[in-house]
Chain A
Amino acid sequence: NAGVMQNPRHLVRRRGQEARLRCSPMKGHSHVYWYRQLPEEGLKFMVYLQKENIIDESGMPKERFSAEFPKEGPSILRIQQVVRGDSAAYFCASSPVPTDYGYTFGSGTRLTVV
């Protein structure tokens, strides 16, 4: 595992469709963080998960967005009924323990809603 793997790299969805973004953390990392980068904006925290648990979802929009990190498999960020304003780059990061010392980020998924 060379690093944090995100797929797809690019995703195009029509308004009203669902978007599923996947994140496989680095080997040995059980803590996953999702951030969103809107055009010309800084990265904004969305959610922090451990295996099978959502620890902090204070940055997630209340409606249409959900995240999970199952016991097996990647973390999933799910956006239902996408709107144009959801177009952004979504980044996942992981760490072996909860940390304020810096993350390893994936390359991101660029979501375009048409």
Chain B
Amino acid sequence: TQLLEQSPQFLSIQEGENLTVYCNSSSVFSSLQWYRQEPGEGPVLLVTVVTGGEVKKLKRLTFQFGDARKDSSLHITAAQPGDTGLYLCAGAKSGAGSYQLTFGKGTKLSVIP
């Protein structure tokens, strides 16, 4: 069974601070995706990383895929209240059934004005 552990589970920071959240597994994934979910809504895809060591930037968000494709991190620079939400990572396994995502439980981020 593939598991994704996300840490921290909860994070509360002041506006303007930087933060990093982590997504770790003992399994190798063909791709890893980050989603943000707001209360009462579905997850919204932020980014997909597929190559070990890959770094992608989306404005103030920087995503990194580990060299061994087992882990990933999300770094937010100068957090804003609009960044508040639940951040989920999801991994796709290699080969048959790669459409089936394994989700972590998420990091709930609160950015205080």
Contact = CB atoms under 8 A, between A and B. Distances in A.
A100 B42 contact: no
Given A102-B45, A105-B42, A108-B41, A41 B99 contact: no
Interface stretch (B14-22, B64-72, B102-110): B102-110
Nearest to A100: B92
Contacts, number: 67
Nearest to A95: B99
Nearest to A104: B45
Interface in B27-57: 30-31, 33, 35, 40-45, 48, 50
Which 10 A-B residue pairs are closest in the complex by CB-CB distance?
A100-B92, A105-B42, A42-B103, A100-B98, A43-B103, A102-B45, A42-B105, A102-B48, A45-B100, A102-B33
12 contacts: A35-B103, A42-B88, A43-B101, A45-B100, A56-B97, A91-B42, A98-B98, A101-B92, A104-B45, A105-B42, A105-B43, A108-B41
Contacts of A40: 105
Interface of B: 4, 30-31, 33, 35, 40-45, 48, 50, 88, 90, 92, 97-106
